[in-house]
Structure 1
Amino acid sequence: MSKLLFSFLFLVSFLAFPNEYERIDRKVRNYPNFKNIHDLGYRIQNDFTTDEERVRAAFVWLTQNMIYIKTFDDTFKTSRIISYQSEYGRQKQIREVVLGWIEKAFRTRKGVCLEYSLILNELCLQFGLPSKVIAGIAKTDIRSSEVDQTYKNHTWNAVQIDGIWKLMDPTWASGHLDLVSQKFIRKQLDHYYFTSPSEFIKHHFPTNEEWQLLDNPVNLKHFLSAPIYLTDFFGKGIELSPKTKGIFSISSEDNNYIYFDQLPRDHGMYYWVHGSSEIRKMGFKKGTDKSYISKIRLKKKLPKNHNLLTVFMDDKPILNFKIIEKQATN
């Protein structure tokens, strides 16, 4: 009887979790227009009581109100020269610069990843929570060689709740920029909210290894050469093997394979080479190490720009691979 009761309570709590977020999200979506970030922070603190509720409210406000856009000012933004005679003076001037960025982005409701991260960080600090803006590499392409370790193209956030650091990316959670129309398409993606470190490292690589929040950190070379994990990959009960590389070669002496460590029985996967009209269903065989192996068949010659292969599951793209003419050398 006790086991049955435990199972019932677990199920109820599991189902209540997203419903609780729905309550928060709905309330935040009906917020009025705030003149400054501190008024927004005070409203959130009055409306919600727990740290997690407040962070969720701040996160959702960003996804619903900010527009990702790179303005002329962002493109040609000049560095501000600061002079100081003490560490206190340096920190004070840096703080003034940061507040200027935050105030402008909040007023215009426009910005790029840095503005998104700074606003969320400022709200978390207002709530009295340890909070960090994390700089690093967002995975947008697949490379066979490393880049400079100091290279950064993205920022995201970490906040500490009940002694545990949580990762989130309010920029990627807000939607995407349509490459054809150059218009921002708003779509809230909760995958990037409190994402588990083991999933977050699949698309975000922090410059400081500490912020991977992993017992066994991933190295940069593996991160860059792995496939691109698309949002619909997650939550489907699949796990790609570390043996799977993100680069296929049409002139390789070795066959091109995709390895899965975990795979549902009815997966219905297929793949498509961009620009072609051919779609191939993926077949699998069991490997000696209990992995699932699928052979990818590529034509010996592909037309120009046919250099990307996408894997689909349930008719949704889940993985991208790069196709090259020759086998990559390391």
Structure 2
Amino acid sequence: VSRRDHPGFRDLMWDLVYQLRLSELERARVIFRWMTSKDMRRLQFASAERGSPEAFLTNYRRGTFARVYELLCSFAGLSCVTLSGYAKGVEYRPGCRFREQPHNHSWNAISIDGAWQLVDVHWAMRYLSSERNSPENLVYEYDDFYFMTEPQQA
């Protein structure tokens, strides 16, 4: 599904989750894998009216992977929320304090069969190859660790 363009959001959701009878876990996984294998910067639809899901998806900006995942999950009938907080990225040094700083990351909690699970689409699709936070150091590679990560390991 990620290799194709879809004329509209409805077509995308049909191909992702409604064409087959999928469980909650399967719907959450399919959306996760679609996002981690799709170049979100090149996503386009035949039209994208203001306020539509198509407009939201095509106006993707860095840092909104969690919001996109939440939107897709909501249209797939899944309970999902975006969480904001702190991540120990390349700039983190042991002993750094987070309290006075603005949140620097977001991820999702999704309810699957009544249990809340953690999902981080952003970190599942890419990582930095060095300590320098720049586009040329971004490596796009899937990491399944970030789907339903145990909270103590997140």
Same-fold call, TM > 0.5? yes
1:130 alignment partner AA? S
* Residue 198 of structure 1 pairs with residue 147 of structure 2: no
Does the 8 Å contact 1:118/1:133 carry over to 2?
A: yes
* Residue 34 of structure 1 pairs with residue 6 of structure 2: yes
**Aligned match of 2:136 in 182, 198, 201?**
182
User: What is the deviation of 1:42?
Assistant: 2.2
* Residue 129 of structure 1 pairs with residue 78 of structure 2: yes
Give distance in 2, aligned partners of 1:41 and 1:117: 17
Counterpart in the other structure of 2:99 = 148
Cα distance change of structure 1 residues 43 and 147 upon mapping to structure 2, 3 Å threshold: same
1:32 alignment partner AA? R
Would you identify which runs of 4 or more consecutive aligned residues in structure 1 move more than 3 Å?
35-38, 102-105, 177-181
- Structure ranking higher on relative contact order (CA contacts 8 Å, 6+ apart): 2
1:197 alignment partner AA? P
Does the 8 Å contact 2:86/2:98 carry over to 1?
A: no
1:46-195 pair list within 5 angstroms: 46-67=19-40, 99=51, 103-104=54-55, 106-107=57-58, 111-114=61-64, 116-140=65-89, 141-148=92-99, 151-177=102-128, 179=132, 182=136, 184-195=138-149
Q: Deviations over 1:178-227 (max 9, x none)?
A: 55762642211000011011111xxxxxxxxxxxxxxxxxxxxxxxxxxx
Give distance in 1, aligned partners of 2:61 and 2:135: 18
User: What is the deviation of 1:150?
Assistant: 6.4
Q: TM-score, normalised by structure 2?
A: 0.75
SS of the counterpart of 2:97?
A: coil
**Who wins on radius of gyration, i.e. which is larger?**
1
Give distance in 1, aligned partners of 2:151 and 2:109: 11
User: What is the deviation of 1:66?
Assistant: 3.1
Give distance in 1, aligned partners of 2:10 and 2:106: 22
Greater strand content:
1
1:226-241 pair list within 5 angstroms: none
Give distance in 2, aligned partners of 1:155 and 1:64: 19
SS of the counterpart of 1:121?
A: helix
Give distance in 1, aligned partners of 2:123 and 2:151: 16
Give distance in 1, aligned partners of 2:136 and 2:109: 29
Give distance in 2, aligned partners of 1:187 and 1:158: 22
Counterpart in the other structure of 1:326 = none
Does the 8 Å contact 2:111/2:117 carry over to 1?
A: yes
SS of the counterpart of 1:56?
A: helix
